[in-house]
């Protein structure tokens, strides 16, 4: 028993308590270009993933059926898909941010809870 109580004293509650302050905030609006750029980056990443998968599939089909065009198209998708996905995601992100700003001004924005740590 003594060993267990010493262990608790040494290793449990050795840090000072952290006091957290909770603040409710509302996102009233977002900057359209900032939102669109973030969406474009996500689009580029997903386009690269889909491009690699399409390249693997195109290469496999081209090799199986002796179609060199499918292999070329598959490898070209690694370059083309991120560009197309990035442009489309940028446009969609800008539209979404614009619509969010309109809706948030009419019905209110998204409520989030922010926690501030005080050490």
Q: What is the mean pLDDT of residues 87-116?
A: 95
Dump pLDDT digits (tens) for 34-43: 999 999 999 9
User: What is the DSSP secondary-structure string of 62-110?
Assistant: HHHTT-HHHHHHHHHHHHHHHHHHHHHHHHHHHHHHHHHHHHHHHH--E
The SS3 call for residue 15 is coil
The residue count of the chain comes to 119
C-alpha 38/C-alpha 51 separation (Å) is 20
Report whether 59 contacts 76 (CB < 8 A): no
Report whether 20 contacts 116 (CB < 8 A): yes
Report whether 74 contacts 57 (CB < 8 A): yes
Q: What is the mean pLDDT of residues 107-114?
A: 92
0.95 surpassed by pTM = no
The answer to whether residue 110 scores a pLDDT higher than 80 is: yes
* Separation in Å, CA 56 to CA 30, 53, 82, 86, 106: 39, 5, 16, 21, 47
Dump pLDDT digits (tens) for 42-101: 999 999 999 999 999 988 888 888 888 888 888 899 999 999 999 999 999 999 999 999
Report whether 39 contacts 90 (CB < 8 A): yes
The answer to whether residue 17 scores a pLDDT higher than 80 is: no
pLDDT band at residue 2, thresholds of 50, 70 and 90? low
């Amino acid at each position: 028993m003594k060993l267990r109580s010493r262990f608790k004293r040494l290793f449990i509650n050795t840090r000072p308590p952290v006091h957290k302050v909770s603040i409710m905030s509302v996102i009233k609006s977002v900057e359209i270009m900032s939102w669109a750029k973030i969406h474009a980056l996500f689009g580029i990443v997903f386009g690269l993933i889909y491009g690699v998968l399409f390249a693997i599939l195109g290469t496999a089909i081209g090799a199986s059926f002796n179609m060199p065009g499918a292999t070329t198209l598959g490898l070209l998708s690694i370059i083309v898909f991120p560009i197309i996905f990035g442009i489309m995601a940028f446009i969609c992100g800008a539209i979404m941010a614009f619509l969010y700003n309109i809706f948030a001004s009419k019905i209110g924005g998204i409520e989030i809870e922010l926690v501030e740590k005080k050490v």
